[in-house]
Amino acid sequence: MFLPTLFWLAAVAIAGVHARSSAGDSVLVVVEPEHQAKYSIFFQNIKDRGYELTFRAPQTEEPRLVEFDAPKFSHVVILAPEIKSIAKDIGPQGLVDVLSRGVNLLVALPQKQSPLSAFAAEFSLILPPPNTHLISYFPERNESATIIPVAPSKDHPILTNGITPIWFSGAPHALSTNPYLVPILHAPAQSFAGEPDSPGDVLADAAEKGGEGLWAGSQLGIVTGFQASNNARVTFVGGREVFSDEFAQKEINPGTKSGNTQFVNDIVAWTFQESLVFRVDKVEHRGLNTPISSDKYTVNDNVIFSAYISKYDPQTSTWASYSGIDDLQLEFTMLDPHIRTALLPESETPGKYSVTFRVPDRHGVFKFVINHRRNGMTYLQSSTTVAVVPPRHDEYPRFLSAAWPYYVGAMSTSIGFVLFSALWMARDVREEKKGKTE
């Protein structure tokens, strides 16, 4: 009895020290064994952050990603995109399945035809035809046109501020308008997708064909995230070279190392649920003049609704109250929202957001709904059902001035009845009789 408890405590303590992610610290890395050494800096960095790496070759079956119908790993990194035949449990179907169970994925996209192309298409990414590269002749440099320095945007919430440009080599992808996509890095404006040795006419021909003929410009993505509605995250990287030791150590300017290491750390932090992770701790609601919560309100009551929100802090692996969301909204919904109002942070209590409003004069089953979706942030969702009832029979206003005549009428009838009864019974019967006989 005592021993298991001790073991449990120890396990919790160790987990508390190590895991930086809010979702768990076991990572499955799918990479060909012969290429493993090419990404040693990347792997060492993840290990240093407290993750446990398990390596697996793409064609082997072991170790399994899902065992006894439960995912064995919290995160999956796929650095072997070019493989034609990939084991079934890490194929597109298997990956979508584990994603829907909350496993986070970091996927390097293929440049050749591979099962992962179909996987990316599931997430509204449109990949260029196989064997195309991102090419840019800008800026003038000694590297080949397919090895491109890319400057991340300055104030991206996922990336460290002031990150140095990174080296990129791989294929771009077009983004659909799907709002679940989180663009992290766009292709440079001067770049385009093509084959390095093709004649110039090919591009003009492709454009004339229309549709997705030409792949060019800064609307293309090269690193793109996707946050599913269950808050699991996927990040697609246009080329696995971004993770390589070679690019991490390559100089972007004479004397300055590239930002690849920092960039990869940033996207790993986002993908593995370290950064921009929020949660609704609890919600409360009560009538304005009643101290305790109720699951029933009368129409036209005034109600206070409060939500407590915290943000995950990867440095200490704890949740801390967070008051920084300024566009939170509360809906009071019966089929349609009847009221939608801002849920503003309270200055006295950190992490508390509250609002007071008057319950609509419609009775029925209502819900307090928070559905806060912002690009890149954990979706905050909460729904609490309450009943809104009409006033009870004795809760309506009474002694209305408009009813005075009715009150007076009823009372004078009563008084008249008592008076008449008293007079009739108290009269002298014999006097009457006498009068009659006379």
Partner 1 sequence: MVRLLPISLLFLAAIVQAAKLTLQSPRIVITTAGSSAPLHTAPLSLDNKILSPVTLNHTDTLKLTFQVVDEESGKGVQPHQTFLRFYDAQSGEEGIQPIRVTISGKAKFELVMAKPPSSLPPTTSAPLLVTLLIGTPDYSPLSADLFDLYVLPSQPAPVHPEEASFHPLPEIQHTFRPEQKLPPRPISAFFALAVLAPWTVLLTLWSTYAPRPKHLFSPRIFPFVATLAAFEGLLFWYWVALRLGDVLLYGAILGLVAFFTGKQALGSIASQRLGRK
What residues form DSSP beta bridges with 333? 337, 367
Binds partner 1 (CB under 8 A): choice among 360, 369, 381, 389: 360
Q: Please report how close the Cβ of residue 181 comes to partner 1 at its closest, in angstroms.
A: 10
Binds partner 1 (CB under 8 A): choice among 219, 316, 356, 383: 219
Quick note: the x/- pattern for partner 1 over 250-289, rule CB under 8 A, is -x--xx----------------------------------
Q: Report the residue number, 6 or 423, with the smaller CB distance to partner 1.
A: 423
Binds partner 1 (CB under 8 A): choice among 154, 289, 423, 435: 423
Neighbour-count burial of 369, counting CB atoms closer than 10 A to its CB (0-12 exposed, 13-18 middle, 19+ buried): middle
Q: Please report how close the Cβ of residue 122 comes to partner 1 at its closest, in angstroms.
A: 16
Per CB under 8 A, 230 contacts partner 1: no
In angstroms, the CA 175 to CA 178 distance is 8
What are the two backbone dihedrals, phi and then psi, of residue 83, each rounded to the nearest 5 degrees? -65, 135
Per CB under 8 A, 412 contacts partner 1: yes
Subset of 167-206 contacting partner 1 (CB under 8 A): 176-180, 189-190, 192, 196, 198-201, 203-204, 206
Q: Report the residue number, 198 or 316, with the smaller CB distance to partner 1.
A: 198
**Dihedral angle at the C-alpha atoms of 140, 141, 145, 147, nearest 10 degrees?**
-130
Per CB under 8 A, 374 contacts partner 1: yes
Q: Please report how close the Cβ of residue 59 comes to partner 1 at its closest, in angstroms.
A: 38
Q: Report the residue number, 383 or 412, with the smaller CB distance to partner 1.
A: 412
Per CB under 8 A, 142 contacts partner 1: yes
Q: Please report how close the Cβ of residue 350 comes to partner 1 at its closest, in angstroms.
A: 22
Subset of 315-354 contacting partner 1 (CB under 8 A): 327, 329, 331, 337-342
**Side chain identity, residue 108:** A
Per CB under 8 A, 139 contacts partner 1: yes
Per CB under 8 A, 151 contacts partner 1: no
Subset of 61-120 contacting partner 1 (CB under 8 A): none
In angstroms, the CA 281 to CA 303 distance is 20
Subset of 42-71 contacting partner 1 (CB under 8 A): none
Q: Please report how close the Cβ of residue 409 comes to partner 1 at its closest, in angstroms.
A: 5
Give the burial string for 71-98 (b: 16+ CB within 10 Å, else e): bebbbbbbbbbebeebbebbbbebbeeb
Record the tokens describing residue 412, joined without a space: 């004078």
